[in-house]
C-alpha cells in the first residue's frame, strides 16, 4: 500500500482544513518545496497535492508550486483542484505532474473523464470522490449531490477509471480515524476493478494498519504528519505488504500460471519445470518473485551467461499493477546482476505494445528496432553501459 503525504495549498501556503471548511484553514508548514523534500527524505515516493483555491474557483491557481515540486524532487506528484478541461490536464502533465485528480467534473461531466482516459491513459487520471453522509460533494465540498459515493465509483469504472480517491468529509482533518465501514463498502463493491485510496481522518499507525488490511491501494496522510501523531517512515514501512524475494522451484506452478495469464510467450522446453529448474541452478541469485500474504503478485526470471544479462520473463498480475511492483522486481534483478559484474542486459522476445514499451523505457531500457527477432522486440539496457548499443 502506498502512503501519500498531502500538501494542500491556499494562497501559496501549506494548509489543512477541518471537514472541508475553508474558514478552518490553518498553516501547517512554511515552504511547499522544502516540505515535499522532507517527505521524500522520509521515504515517500508520491505526494498528494490539492489546489484548494482552484477547487473553489474552478480552474488552476497555484500551478507554479506543483511544477516546482515535480521538477525539483524525485517524487511522483498527483494534483487535484479546479481541473475541468483536457487542456488543463495536458498542461499539468507537460509540467511533469505524474497524474491529475478529477473531482467535481466526474459527477457533472463524466464524458470528460472518459475522454481524458482515452487521451492520456488510466494511469494518468484519478477520480476523487468526496462524500458527506455518503452522498457525493462537489465544488470544493461546497455543494452536496444526491448521488451515493459507491454508485459514482461503479459508474466511473465503466468509463475506464482505475484509481479512485475516496474522502469522507466528516473525517477530513479531524484526526478521528478513517471511516473503515465506508472504505470497506467501497473496496468490496469495486474489488478487482479499480484501486482505492483512503483519505480523511488518518491519525495514528492504527489507521494505516486498518487501510492496509482492507487491501487498499493507498492512504493519504495530512494533518497527522504535521502534528506528529503519525511518523511517515513508520507508516511507509507498516503499509508495505508486498515482499520481494528470490524465486525458487516451489514458485513454479504459480509463476507458470501467471505467465499464462499475462500472455507471456512460453515453450515446452525452456519453460517446463525441468527447464526452469536448470535455469535457476545456473542463476540462483537473479530471479525474484513479489508475494503478498502468500499470493504471487509478480515474477521476473533473470539470468546471465557471464557476459550479458537477459530477462526471460517479467510480469505482474493485473490486480496488482499500478503499485510499483514491476519496477521493484526489475530493480532487484538489476542489482543482483550488478553484484555479479554484469552491466549489459537485454529483454528476450518481448512482444511490442505501447504500455509494455513505456514501462521498460521508464526502467532505463531503449527499444532497438534493428534487433527484431521473429517479430518480437529485443530491448537493450543502456543505463549501465552507454556504449553497449554501439557493439
What distance in Å separates the CA atoms of residue 257 and residue 46, rounded to the nearest whole number? Answer: 32
CA proximity to 157, closest of 197, 212, 195, 101: 195
- The catalytic residues are 8, 130
- The whole-angstrom distance between residue 162's C-alpha and the CA centroid of its chain comes to 11
**Cα angle vertex 92, ends 86, 224, to 5°?**
120
75 and 47 in contact (C-beta within 8 Å)? yes
What distance in Å separates the CA atoms of residue 91 and residue 73, rounded to the nearest whole number? Answer: 19
* Partners of 295 in the β-ladder: 292
What distance in Å separates the CA atoms of residue 123 and residue 349, rounded to the nearest whole number? Answer: 25
CA proximity to 80, closest of 173, 22, 164, 142: 164
What distance in Å separates the CA atoms of residue 80 and residue 367, rounded to the nearest whole number? Answer: 34
Amino acid at each position: 500500500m502506498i502512503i501519500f503525504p498531502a500538501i494542500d495549498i491556499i494562497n501559496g501556503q501549506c494548509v489543512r482544513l477541518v471537514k472541508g471548511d475553508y474558514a478552518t484553514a490553518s498553516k501547517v508548514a512554511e515552504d511547499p518545496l522544502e516540505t515535499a523534500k522532507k517527505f521524500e527524505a522520509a521515504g515517500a515516493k508520491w505526494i498528494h497535492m490539492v489546489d484548494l483555491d482552484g477547487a473553489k474557483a474552478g480552474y488552476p491557481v497555484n500551478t507554479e508550486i506543483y511544477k516546482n515540486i515535480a521538477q525539483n524532487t524525485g517524487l511522483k506528484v498527483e494534483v487535484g483542484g479546479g481541473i475541468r478541461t483536457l487542456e488543463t490536464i495536458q498542461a499539468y502533465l507537460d509540467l511533469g505532474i505524474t497524474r491529475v485528480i478529477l473531482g467535481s467534473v466526474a459527477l457533472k461531466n463524466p464524458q470528460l473523464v472518459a475522454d481524458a482516459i482515452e487521451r492520456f491513459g488510466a494511469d494518468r487520471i484519478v477520480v476523487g470522490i468526496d462524500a458527506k453522509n455518503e452522498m457525493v460533494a462537489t465544488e470544493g465540498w461546497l455543494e452536496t449531490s444526491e448521488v451515493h459515493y459507491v454508485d459514482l465509483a461503479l459508474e466511473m469504472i465503466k468509463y475506464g477509471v482505475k484509481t479512485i480517491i475516496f474522502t469522507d468529509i466528516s473525517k477530513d482533518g479531524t484526526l478521528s480515524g478513517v471511516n473503515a465501514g465506508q472504505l470497506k463498502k467501497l473496496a468490496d463493491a469495486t474489488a478487482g476493478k479499480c484501486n482505492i485510496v483512503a483519505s480523511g481522518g488518518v491519525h495514528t499507525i492504527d489507521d494505516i494498519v486498518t487501510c492496509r488490511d482492507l487491501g487498499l491501494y493507498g492512504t493519504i496522510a495530512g494533518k497527522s504528519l504535521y502534528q506528529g501523531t503519525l511518523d511517515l517512515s513508520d507508516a511507509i514501512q507498516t503499509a508495505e505488504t508486498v515482499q520481494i524475494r528470490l524465486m525458487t522451484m516451489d514458485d513454479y506452478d504459480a509463476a507458470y500460471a501467471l505467465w499464462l495469464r499475462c500472455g507471456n510467450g512460453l515453450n515446452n522446453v525452456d519453460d517446463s519445470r525441468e527447464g526452469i529448474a536448470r535455469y535457476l541452478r545456473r542463476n540462483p541469485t537473479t530471479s525474484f518473485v513479489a508475494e503478498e500474504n502468500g499470493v504471487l503478485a509478480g515474477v521476473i526470471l533473470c539470468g546471465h551467461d557471464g557476459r550479458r544479462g537477459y530477462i526471460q520473463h517479467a510480469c505482474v498480475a493485473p490486480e496488482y499493477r499500478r503499485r510499483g511492483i514491476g519496477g521493484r522486481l526489475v530493480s532487484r534483478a538489476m542489482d543482483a546482476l550488478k553484484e555479479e559484474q554484469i552491466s549489459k542486459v537485454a529483454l528476450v522476445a518481448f512482444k511490442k505494445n505501447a504500455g509494455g514499451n513505456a514501462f521498460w523505457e521508464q526502467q532505463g531500457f531503449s527499444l532497438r528496432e534493428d534487433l527484431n527477432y521473429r517479430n518480437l522486440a529485443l530491448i537493450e539496457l543502456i543505463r549501465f553501459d552507454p556504449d553497449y548499443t554501439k557493439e
